[in-house]
A and B are shown apart, each in its own frame.
Chain A
Amino acid sequence: MVENRPWLTIFSHLVVLIGVAIIAFPVWMTFVASTHDAQTMLRSPVPVLPGPHLLKNYSEILTQGYARTSGIPLTIALFNSMVMALGICIGKIVISIIAAFAIVYFRFPFRMAAFWAIFVTLMLPVEVRIVPTYGVVAGLGMVDTYSGLIIPLIASATATFLFRQFFLSVPDELAEASRVDGAGPVRFFFDILLPMSRTTIAALFVIQFIYGWNQYLWPLLVTNKESFYTAVMLVARQATAVDATPSWNLIMATAMLAMLPPVLVVVFMQRQFVRGLVETEK
């Protein structure tokens, strides 16, 4: 299509630029704030260009932490977040791919009932079932453990559903061909289905990693010891310190670092992510 309407081009670019500015400006301000010292950030007007304290702020927050509230170095919190996010993400993928495999490829009584049960119960958000879940986790002595952080969050209706849809789109003949070739269900799963699900798994990895990383309410409930705090929790705790003027430079440095891993995951897995959502390899 040949189109030669310069004003339309300018207009559409303008819309896009405004959109980008709205999204990017707060991130820019966060970054700027993390490069000044505490006094500058409390003075008006707030600076819009980076200052000279970048290295100092980041090394302080990483090694010593935000002394006024928790005092644990951010490295520990980042490590905790990473363990939780990876645990949730991998756990979700493993559990839901197995569940979807059972639902799609095996005929057993109440198969559809099982599917709908998974589907309906997990439409409830974490918050609705959080009190009983906490009761169970506390009863099992999993408070202040990594398993307590991870296990209650690893069931996933979304992922089960996505895998189910993908498996349904795999031609039946493939399963039949592998049966004739002599592969049992387990071999079929590992040799054929799993490699074919590569892109779907990548897409889910991205979504679920971000989901796990951004968890706030659950870690807040289930951790008492500071050594189990996650990065996202720290950001919030620092901003609500009551008895002192907040050190915005350090808080913003924490926020920047807490934002980084999800961004990296998206950047590096973007291609597989998009392919997983749009393409079915057959």
Chain B
Amino acid sequence: MATVSLRGVRKSYGGTVEVIQGIDMEITDGEFIVIVGPSGCGKSTLLRMVAGLEKITGGEIAIDARVVNELEPKDRDIAMVFQNYALYPHMSVYDNMAYGLKIRGVSKGEIDERVKRAAKTLEIEPFLERKPRQLSGGQRQRVAMGRAIVREPKAFLFDEPLSNLDAKLRVQMRVEIKKLQRQLGVTSIYVTHDQVEAMTMGDRLIVMNKGVAEQIGTPIDVYAQPASLFVAAFIGSPSMNFLETRIGADGSLALDGASLKPKTRIDPGRAVTIGIRPEHLSVGSGFDLKVELVELLGADTLVYGRLSDGKGLVVRLPGTEVPKIGDRLPVKAHDGAWHLFDSETGKRLGAA
């Protein structure tokens, strides 16, 4: 159990391509941090730098106040769960879990006790003598977890551990990993490209894009107050609606006949992008939406339509009240649900 500090962490290949452009973060003891971002954003690289599998080009990583930049993975006291599980194919489940302890010279009796205990926690006791190839994906995943927890490390590192599982199992394992982490109270860093996993599992998220941490915050912060256009678009499904517009002379926003008052003062004439989540729109007088497509999800319904000025908008309506295609649907926005972003920099300006 430990704290992990990232101070101006950078990574570049050959000095030219900078894949991680300076990340700062203090991870407190027992916290569950999720690094989320699209593929190629550098999230796995960052995790591997914490693990010691990638060299750190700049900045510092400290685990429990000890700078680990130059330490081998084995000396960092971390355990890692890989996307493809990376179980040793020729060893039984028991040996897979015991291997790290054996190398560390832990006594036979203690290895046995720890492996048995971990196996019990993960409910893989019946498979201890089997080889990895005789297990299903979900079981392999548990073994990989088991290999991490028997070590009782200072931190767990997860590299997209659920992306090889089918959708149902993924949801189940998601809950279990989270529960296990709570129970053990071990500081964890979890990499995923799945924003649902990020939202549900993380105590805090790092949303990454092109090597930059766009936002670091609790899931609710990230959802309710996205720091940039990228975060706003990436978190939430379906994605936030964006409309390009300009601040009027009086500091208000004209939108399809209606007018919005930003909560903060913004210079008149500035190009802004306003965003609203589909779930923050509902039926009521405001705008007229020409319905183009309707998706029934059961619990709710997604309506794709266009405003009179031709801009596209998605609305999420509760239940199964289905407007007809071609109908005019009056929609209104919830109070204060508009997000304002600078069109050029993508930074958040405020709400409306």
Listed in ascending order, the chain A residues whose CB lies under 8 Å from chain B are: 171, 173-174, 176-183, 187, 191-192, 195-196, 198, 281-282
Contact = CB atoms under 8 A, between A and B. Distances in A.
A192 B74 CA distance: 17
Contacts of B213: none
Given A171-B86, A174-B88, A192-B88, A182 B74 contact: yes
B168 interface: no
Nearest to B148: A180
Contacts of B73: 176, 179-180
B265 interface: no
B90 A281 contact: yes
B53 interface: yes
A183 B90 CA distance: 16
Contacts of A187: 103
Given A196-B89, A281-B89, A281-B90, A181 B82 contact: no
Contacts of B89: 196, 281-282
Contacts of B133: 281
Interface in B92-121: 99-100, 103-104
Nearest to A173: B86
A181 B100 contact: yes
Contacts of B83: 173
B82 A177 contact: yes
B133 to A, nearest CB: 8
Nearest to B80: A180
B86 A174 contact: yes
A179 B53 contact: yes
A187 B104 CA distance: 12
Nearest to A176: B53
B51 interface: yes
Given A180-B73, A181-B99, A281-B89, A173 B78 contact: no
Nearest 4 pairs of A and B residues by beta carbon = A173-B86, A182-B74, A181-B100, A177-B86
Most buried by B among A171, A174, A180: A180
B206 interface: no
A182 B82 contact: no
Contacts of A183: 74, 99, 103
Given A281-B90, A282-B89, A179 B74 contact: yes
B68 to A, nearest CB: 13
Nearest to A196: B90
Given A179-B53, A181-B151, A192-B90, 12 more contacts: A171-B86, A173-B84, A173-B86, A176-B53, A177-B86, A178-B99, A179-B72, A180-B74, A180-B100, A181-B99, A183-B99, A281-B90
Interface of B: 51-53, 72-74, 78-80, 82-84, 86-91, 99-100, 103-104, 133, 147, 151
Contacts of B88: 174, 177-178, 191-192
A136 B82 CA distance: 51
Contacts of B52: 179-180
B82 to A, nearest CB: 4
8 contacts: A173-B82, A176-B53, A177-B82, A177-B87, A180-B53, A180-B74, A180-B78, A180-B100
Nearest to A181: B100
B90 A195 contact: yes
A187 B133 CA distance: 23
Contacts of A192: 88, 90
Contacts of A191: 88, 99
B104 A182 contact: yes
Nearest to A192: B88
Contacts of A178: 88, 99
Given A173-B84, A191-B99, A180 B90 contact: no
Nearest to A174: B86
Contacts of B51: 176, 180
A181 B53 CA distance: 12
Contacts of A182: 74, 100, 103-104
A176 B80 contact: yes
B203 to A, nearest CB: 23
Contacts of A174: 86, 88
